[in-house]
A and B are shown apart, each in its own frame.
Chain A
Amino acid sequence: MKKYLLFLLLPVMLMQGCLKDKLIYTYTMLKPVYKAKSEVYANIKSNAPRAISNPGKIFIYGQYIFLNEVDKGVHVIDNSNPSNPVMKTFIDIPGNLDIAVKGNTLYADLYSDLVVVDITNPLDARFQKFIPHVFPERYLSYFQTNDSNSVIVDWIRKDTTIERKLSGNMMYDAQGSPYAMLSSYAMPSGAGGASGVPGIAGSMARFSIVNDYLYAVNQSFLKTYNITNTRNPQEAGSQMVGWQIETIYPFKDRLFIGSSNGMYIYDITNPATPVSMGRYTHIRACDPVVADDHFAYVTLRNGTACAGFTNELQILNIDNLMAPSLVVTKPMTNPHGLAKDNNLLFICDGKAGIKLYDATNPLNIVLKQNITGMETYDAIAWNKNLLVVASDGLYQYDYTNGTLTQKSKLSVTK
């Protein structure tokens, strides 16, 4: 009996040291494709139009629509006839998410830099200059660092499997995760424009023009640029706003700044020096905002970087700018951008499509129409024409009669 037990225990004791746990780790790696800066700047010009693949933010300026192709550049679309928009050119701007226009000048972000483009002839755009580090949060995280003389123009996606040894407590090292991930906290561009020709951005905008000033928000700061000389923006100031700033929306002499935990109001009576007026705090969620004289309309959504668990529209009374107060809450599916034109409120409610509300009485808004079948992101309502950016294309609707009638769609080609 004893010899059997010894026979059993001996290999157990000997073998324990030989046992090794294994981890088969499969991950997606993004390999950057670099291009020399000089080459990138030389290519910031009107190139041949290309298909819309991943539409981002929109800006309308006169007869033209400037539609961001996420991280690639800007589609220039002739919208003289909204029923038949024509793709005219494409301006290559790697890392681009936001756009704004004043006069004959287009401002766009190129990763962390701001580039200035002459669009005197929108069909013959020309690079003018760049301003570095306006959006410092758009760094390359983990162990990818950008070469200061080159720019990432593309990413090659590659699935890789490796075998790792494990030890002790099984905790794996997040830093060891070989991700090359672009940190692209991108939201927003407000309304602005030169006298005479309207320039309007969606509610998701991250920089905005009001008269002779360009206001840009990054994750924490509001930066002010004097663009009296449109081709040569001069930084006029920079001030800390808060954390996780997402959007900026100008209305008259105020800036409404959306962050993941609240809305900030700034007075720009002195445009070079915005002054903080009030703040409304909400639970953590992404929150684009639009406003009118008495009310601010804020959409809160969860998911991805927004965290939180709230999907709703909040209407705030802003008669007292120092202390905005919540007056209405309305549940939504996953609201993103929104737009307002007089008494009509348009909400891009993610997979629930576009919603049109009668906001004659902001305390009791009434759903008039809900067009589904598309995942909507941002909208601009101007001159009875509603532009809607959705995951499958750029839609245009007429709302002359208070209802939405589709005029055209530029489809996404994947």
Chain B
Amino acid sequence: MKKVLISALSLLFIYTAVSAQQKLKFSSQTYAGVLLGDGRSDLQLQTINGVKWKNWFGGIGAGIDWYSFRSVPVFASVNRDIFKKGKNTLLLSADVGINLPWHQDNYYYIDFTTNNEFRPGLYWASGVGYRFGVGKADNALLMNFGYSFKQSRQEFANVYPCLNPPCLPFVEKYDYRLNRLSIKLGWIF
């Protein structure tokens, strides 16, 4: 009896999954844009790849963010279509993930600095966009406006001379919390 029940549930699960897969569709978004912040602006590039299901899109994204300290955000992304009108639609987007450092330069040089490194921080963004359907299938142009936050953490370990090692390091931590407006143009297929 137990084996029958398990077999039945397995079949039901496989059927449901296959049915769901029929509605899932791979979708890829590629963006170029600008980040506007506190007295400066920089470029961003992103690619997000995932699946579309009804009015939802979910995927994993990565990009290059040149704002202040060059970094590589890696994030999960969700879109929800609203106010659909033919091939065009307004949509809401939300991203959350980690901001990986790329930039490693010293901004000032201290003779005793033995360690200066950027560390990962938080990345998240939200916005509203408008998708213009182009041609056949689901190809579309997209404009997206929103808010983008990234955190860049930098740590200096300054070891000053001492007579008898190990010399105690003096650590300075810089936690940059960068708030930007994001304007992106993209291509979806």
Contacts and interface: CB of A to CB of B under 8 A. Distances in A.
11 contacts: A8-B128, A8-B145, A24-B175, A26-B172, A26-B175, A170-B176, A172-B108, A181-B160, A182-B160, A305-B112, A391-B165
Nearest to B38: A21
A13 to B, nearest CB: 9
B68 A375 contact: no
- Interface size grouping (class) on chain A: 35 or more
Contacts of A391: 164-166
A377 B164 contact: yes
A8 B163 contact: no
Contacts of A169: 40
Given A25-B173, A170-B68, A19 B181 contact: yes
- Interface size grouping (class) on chain B: 35 or more
A208 interface: no
Contacts of B36: 12, 16, 19
A179 B134 CA distance: 59
A179 B170 contact: yes
Contacts of B175: 23-26
A15 B181 contact: yes
B69 A170 contact: yes
A20 B179 contact: yes
Interface string B30-44: 000000111110000
Interface string B137-178: 000000101010000000000011111111100111111111
Contacts, number: 133
A186 B69 CA distance: 37
A263 to B, nearest CB: 19
Interface in A320-338: 334, 336
Contact of B167 (A5, A15, A27, A304): A304
Interface stretch (A38-46, A52-60, A87-95): A52-60
B1 interface: no
Nearest to A179: B170
A156 interface: no
Which among A5, A19, A182, A375 has the highest number of chain B CB atoms within 10 Å? A19
Contacts of A54: 163-164
Nearest to B36: A16
A90 to B, nearest CB: 17
Given A21-B68, A22-B177, A303 B114 contact: yes
Given A70-B164, A170-B40, 11 more contacts: A5-B143, A8-B130, A16-B36, A19-B36, A20-B38, A20-B179, A26-B175, A70-B162, A167-B39, A174-B110, A181-B160
Nearest to B37: A19
Given A15-B181, A307-B111, A26 B173 contact: yes
Contacts of B180: 19
A8 B170 CA distance: 47
A37 B55 CA distance: 78
Nearest to A8: B145
Contact of B111 (A16, A23, A305): A305
A191 to B, nearest CB: 19
Contacts of B165: 304, 334, 336, 350, 375, 377, 391
Contacts of A20: 38, 179
A166 B38 CA distance: 8
